[in-house]
Amino acid sequence: MKSIMQTEKKCYLCGRTQGLDKHHVFMGRKHRPLSEKYGLTVWLCNDFTPTRCHKQVHEGEHAEALQDALHRKGQEAFEEVHGNREDFMRIFDRNYL
């Protein structure tokens, strides 16, 4: 499914429009395909330099905080588009809000 978190193809964090990767907001073997299914994906810039946003989200100094912020935004978007909190928790196994 198309992202329900952003409409424009640009880095979700910094707005760059070049060198973009699709990032799955909920990760891991179980949740990554569900992120894809429900459109919980964002574009993040990546040109293989350590300062770029995709790298920051996965392994930067503030990776945990960035992932947490994206989890909350993702759950909000889910609840606007797909269902209520109970639905979200049934599918993604926890509540981030």
The residues of the shown chain that bind Zn ion, judged by CB under 5 A, are: 11, 13-14, 16, 23, 45, 53
Cβ nearer to Zn ion, comparing 47 with 86: 47
CB of 41 to Zn ion, least distance (A): 9
CB of 65 to Zn ion, least distance (A): 15
Token digits of residue 58: 């996965």
Cβ nearer to Zn ion, comparing 16 with 31: 16
Cβ nearer to Zn ion, comparing 13 with 40: 13
Give dist(CA 21, CA 34) in Å, integer: 18
| Residue 35: other Cβ atoms inside 10 A | 24
Within 8 A by CB and 6+ apart from 97, the residues are 72, 75, 76, 85
Nearest to 4 by CA among 29, 24, 21: 24
Contact between 64 and 28 under an 8 Å Cβ cutoff? The reply is no
Cβ nearer to Zn ion, comparing 37 with 90: 37
CB of 84 to Zn ion, least distance (A): 27
CB of 35 to Zn ion, least distance (A): 10
